[in-house]
Amino acid sequence: MSQEFRLDKGGFINRDKKISFKFNGKQYFGYEGDTLASALIANGVHLVGRSFKYHRPRGFFGAGVDEPYAIVQLFRNNETDPNIKATEQELFEGLRAESVNCWPNVNFDIGAINNFFRMFIPAGFYYKTFMWPKSFWYKLYEPIIRKAAGFGKASIKHDQERYEHKYEYCDLLITGSGPSGLASAYAAAKNGAKVILAEDKPRFGGSLLTTDVNIGNQTGVEWTKKIISELKSMSNVIVKNRSQVFGYYDHNMLVMNERLSDHLPKTEKYTPKQRLWYIRAKEVIISSGSIERPLVFGNNDTPGVMLSSAAKEYIKVYGVIVGKKPLIFTNNDSGYETAIEFKKNGIDPLVLDTRNDPKSDIINEAKSLNIKIKISHVVVTAKGYKKVKSADIAKISDDKKHLSEIENVACDCICVSGFWTPSIHLASQSGNKSTFSEEIDAFIPDKSKQRETTVGSAKGIFTLEETLENAFESGFNLSKKITNNDNKISVPSVVEKKFTNHDKFWCVPLPKGKNYKRFLDFQNDVAVSDIELALREGYRSIEHVKRYTTLGMATDQGKTSNLNGLQLVSDVENKVVPQVGHTTFRPPYTPISIGAIVGREVGKHSKPTRKSPMHEWHKKNNAVFVDAGIWLRPRYYKKGNENLFEASKREAKNVRQNVGVCDVTTLGKIDIKGPDAAEFLNRVYTNAWLKLPIGKARYGVMLREDGIVMDDGTTTRISENHYHMTTTTAQAANVLSHLEYYLQLVWPELNVNVVSTTEQWAGAAIAGPNSRKLLQKLFTNKDVSNESLPFMGYTEGDFFGINAKIYRISFSGELAYEVNVESDYGNFMWEKIMEVGKEFNIQPYGTEALSTLRIEMGHVAGSELDGRTIPYDNSLEGLVSKKKDFIGKRSLDKAAFIRPDREKIVGVVPLDKKTSIPEGSYLVKDPKAKLPNPKLGHVSASCWSVEYDNPFSLAIIKDGKNMIGKKLYALSPLKNKSIHVEIVSSHYVDPEGKRVRS
Amino acid sequence: MLYIKCPHCGMRSQNEFAYGGDATVKRPELNKEISDSEWNNFVYLRKSPRGKHLELWQHISGCRQWIKVERDTLTHEIFKTFKAEE
Ligand SMILES: [Zn+2]
């Protein structure tokens, strides 16, 4: 067997299936079922990275989600992922991983020079050093920190993987499949509840995979298999492995990330890489278990120092031994379990127990196996740089303050156990204020705030018997509340080893004259001395100490470091831990990829794309599209080598000279019906609506209650109690909500109904001097003369066998009609118009030409109705009724709104008649005045007037009505332009409006 | 994400709703003479209570009805929901 640290038997790996992989360019192999960590350890690789601040060598510390060290850059199927925990990454054929945070390589790292200067990098170093001078920050500090800080590199390529989101509802969500999760899931499922059981790891069973216990007449592993297969066969249960419930949000909404493909060489077709589940659970059972705490001693970050539970997991799950001369350093019975596993596999461990007279079954078992045990002993410091070579150990006095009999013992790994910390993260996220348990020296969940119950070791229950009792009970009771069933499963009998009390001691004092670094946070390099310094400098709140020292702020969120940090603060401050309190747990429990959070809403899927029924025609005819809200609209139709400017000019000119057609399907349309419809419109719009005759349209302006213009558009009276309202494309949804608000809440006595019909109608605006001639040819049986269908008239007609609605309204200022047909006939209508219009020189025009046409006519649009202007500002005061009340009217009396020099819309023409004025330019008197140059107004919209063949802009300017004829400057600092301009009327073309009435 | 009981449709997730502000504000009647300060109170001034708050939501991706929701602004607990006319 070529793997030096692999056992011949044991574990759940498949020794028949070899898997080859590369780490830092070197080829290795492992087995199916390995993690990257277990495979590397089996191959004797213990150096996997460098620490964050001092670039000290880093190995493996845990075997799962709590891992602070073994973070790698993963390469999979031409993609790369940073910050992958080697302890979680399952091995697949062809896996490639590299160390992070080291340069040029992990064995010789230049950054490690920090290690020799570490006296210069104490707590708060960044705050203290990089304060001044300011210019140094950009030039020197930031680039250096950027290069030195952080783990891994994000891929700069677009992520080709597919991520999905899923919504699910259940009675009980159970987070974790250890003994407590399995028991509560089983009890609840058998009682008829809809259950989701989520397990983060690939294998179910949690601690049952690594402890020698019996449940009923089966081993823990057998029992797990039985329960899981039974649960999987039940239709009311969803069982998921590789699924981390990482966030607990309001109203029992939990989010789970399912990793479907990360363990495979590449994602299979039609399968997402990861799936994010939004789960609304009636009840949540938190069975997330507990994480072993480290013991703190000198150089306790040396590769080879790891959690005793991790060492046991490598043996029991992967058949891998982490060392051949193990030192077990423990303050409780858990360390003995690991020692026994080593011994059973032919390796002699040495156990150092901090307690002075521990007695229990498991210690007796260890003794009977002839395991060497030293009580009242501690590790003073680990020795060795890239791997543990030996340890200085010592006897410790009963008051735990004095060391004696210091000696050096050879060892190649140090397995530490400082007792167990319940994983209360989810409970805490749900709002549960935790409480400190003196018995286990850790926080446990207190009173539930949401519908959440914690069971098992996550609650601080560490015997299997109690765990099962408690979990079966919880699963049954909670399911009974929901299903009203009464099918109770009896709790199976248990055989387990009894443990005795742990020792509260956790931090080994320094021997006289020694200054070993004793680390608390292994990822952020926070040592005991850093916390002590922060406290000496006056930091008291644990939240401040955390930020100042960065304790627990690394990607592992302090899963192994938080509690020891709190213990230290409480020791130094002479307080008890509950007085110190703990920092807030926030989601996510473990890092989640941005891809999973974003899901499928990527690129063009980040919002829906709406297309008009004529979209394909536009595409075929070289339309260049523009986003208008969520709609795609033709901006212009490209002919030959034309650019935007040339094409839109041609299109607009053709409207002024012949006839053009524009797709206006995107306009918001609202159908309004009911006997009180006229009264309602009269309250919604600023102008009068009670006397609008049937078959007539009217332009209207609506305000918000604060007097600001909300939207404008035409509304047509179709029949006695039926109106058709149009809104701007952008405001359609807001206007509908606005109308519903007043009808449902403010004036429920009005008998009116509103409904959006935007998608029901396809619209074509036919505009230009030839438009009537064209219309007559489209509606041959209809009299469309100026007398029969005057400006603002409405009629219906037969359009080649289809019913069409004809509105004589105009946005372009030309003689114009809008023809609407049912959406499905939109393309038919459009093609007919183009075909029949040929003889009148018809051309389609896009939004750019449409803008040109409305700007030179002085018609306002979104750029003027910008949420800051009132009717007066837009020269719409003629539409404001003095006689009746309407929404927002009372606000129009405000002093600011009736100021004599109130802003008003004007036209702007450059004196040279050549230079286009950038939109957003400021209008000022003196372009060279001292800054801030007093601003008179701003340019809201610009075009090239096709009527006069020179640039023309609209602007909203202070005292606008008295500014006509004045010369000002338009400044655009962005485009570095200063243009001498003249202020003219906003109605640049056809100010009397003769054309629309012609 | 909140879980809101629409009185017309049943329990629905927050992303189907749009928030609509304080439900206790009453719009002054039309054509009624009122003082500037009364009007300004109506347009601009809102309380921001810590605790129980009666507020408006619209079920925009559902039945489009405006509803009233009694919610704790601190804990997000929803005590009761009402139809517009209740
Ligand atoms: Zn509803």
Instruction: For A718-760, write each residue's pLDDT tens digit.
Output: 999 999 999 999 899 999 999 999 999 999 999 999 999 999 9
Q: For residue B47, give how far its alpha carbon lies from the nearest alpha carbon of chain A (Å).
A: 18
CA-based end-to-end distance of chain B? 25
How do the domains of chain B map onto residue ranges?
1-25+50-86
Among residues A495, A522, A557, the one where a domain terminates is A495
> How close is the Cα of A631 to the center of ligand 1, in Å?
27
Mean pLDDT of A880-898: 96
Question: Is-contact A614 A827, C-beta < 8 A?
Answer: yes
Q: How far apart are CA A374 and CA A391, in angstroms?
A: 14
Count A/B contacts: CB-CB distance under 8 Å.
53
CA nearest A885 in B: which residue?
B31
CB spacing of A250 vs B42 below 8 angstroms: no
* Closest partner CB to B65 (pick from A744, A885, A890): A744
Joined tokens for residue A274: 């990861």
Domain count, chain A: 5
A426, A411: one domain: no
pLDDT band of A125, cuts 50, 70, 90: low
Mean pLDDT of A359-388: 96
Give the CATH number of the domain where residue A270 resides.
3.50.50.60
Q: What is the pLDDT of residue A328?
A: 98
Give the CATH number of the domain where residue A589 resides.
1.10.10.1100
Residues in the 5 Å CB sphere of ion ligand 1: B 6, 8-9, 59, 62-63
> How close is the Cα of B27 to the center of ligand 1, in Å?
24
* Closest partner CB to A706 (pick from B31, B43, B65): B43
Question: Is-contact A562 A546, C-beta < 8 A?
Answer: no
- For residue A703, what are the contacts with CB-CB under 8 A and spacing of at least 6? A686, A709, A710, A870, A871, A886, A887, A888, A889, A891, A892
pLDDT tens by residue, A68-81: 888 899 999 888 99
Question: Is-contact A724 A715, C-beta < 8 A?
Answer: yes
A440, A383: one domain: no
Among residues A392, A418, A444, the one where a domain terminates is A418
CA nearest A451 in B: which residue?
B77
CATH of range B1-25+50-86; options 3.90.226.10, 3.30.2270.10, 3.30.499.10, 2.40.50.140: 3.30.2270.10
pLDDT band of A106, cuts 50, 70, 90: low
CB spacing of B20 vs A741 below 8 angstroms: yes
Averaged confidence pLDDT in chain A:
93
Q: What is the pLDDT of residue A1?
A: 47
CA nearest A887 in B: which residue?
B30
A428, A542: one domain: no
pLDDT tens by residue, B25-80: 999 999 999 999 999 999 999 999 999 999 999 999 999 999 999 999 999 999 99
Q: Does residue A779 form part of some domain? A: no
Q: How far apart are CA A761 and CA A806, in angstroms?
A: 12
Name the pTM for this structure: 0.89
Q: For residue A939, give how far its alpha carbon lies from the nearest alpha carbon of chain B (Å).
A: 29
* Closest partner CB to A253 (pick from B1, B30, B39): B1
Joined tokens for residue A428: 């805490």
A332, A409: one domain: yes
CB spacing of B43 vs A737 below 8 angstroms: no
A898-934 residues labelled b (16+ CB within 10 A) or e (exposed)? eeeeebbbbbbbbeeeebbbbbbbbbbeeeeeeeebe
Q: Does residue A960 form part of some domain? A: yes
Q: How many CB atoms lie within 10 A of CB A862?
A: 16
Q: How far apart are CA A520 and CA A881, in angstroms?
A: 74
A699-709 residues labelled b (16+ CB within 10 A) or e (exposed)? bbbbbbbbbbb
CA nearest A883 in B: which residue?
B31
Strand order in the sheet with A14-23: A26-32, A14-23, A95-99, A71-76, A79-85
* Closest partner CB to A745 (pick from B1, B31, B66): B66
A281, A319: one domain: no
Crossing angle of helices A464-483 and A179-190, in 10° steps, is 30
Distance of CA A988 to the CA centre of its chain: 49
Question: Is-contact A633 A728, C-beta < 8 A?
Answer: no
ipTM for this prediction: 0.98
pLDDT band of A629, cuts 50, 70, 90: confident
- Look at the block and give the residue holding tokens 């910390």: A421
Distance of CA A233 to the CA centre of its chain: 35
A285, A427: one domain: yes
CB spacing of B39 vs A890 below 8 angstroms: yes
What's the alpha-carbon Rg for chain A, to the nearest Å?
Answer: 38
* Closest partner CB to B84 (pick from A252, A449, A745): A745
Q: What is the pLDDT of residue A566?
A: 87
Mean pLDDT of A593-599: 94
Quote the strand ranges of A742-827, DSSP E: 753-756, 761-767, 794-799, 802-807, 816-822
- Look at the block and give the residue holding tokens 């209008």: A923
DSSP state letter for A187: H
Q: What is the pLDDT of residue A556?
A: 79
| CB hemisphere CA count around A189 (13 angstroms) | 24
Instruction: Choose from A105-109, A553-557, A795-799 the range with maximum mean pLDDT.
Output: A795-799
A430, A465: one domain: yes
Element (H, E) at A189: helix A179-190
CB spacing of B1 vs A250 below 8 angstroms: yes
Joined tokens for residue A321: 């031994």
Write out the residue range of the structural domain in which residue A909 sits.
899-991
Say if residue A173's pLDDT is above 70: yes
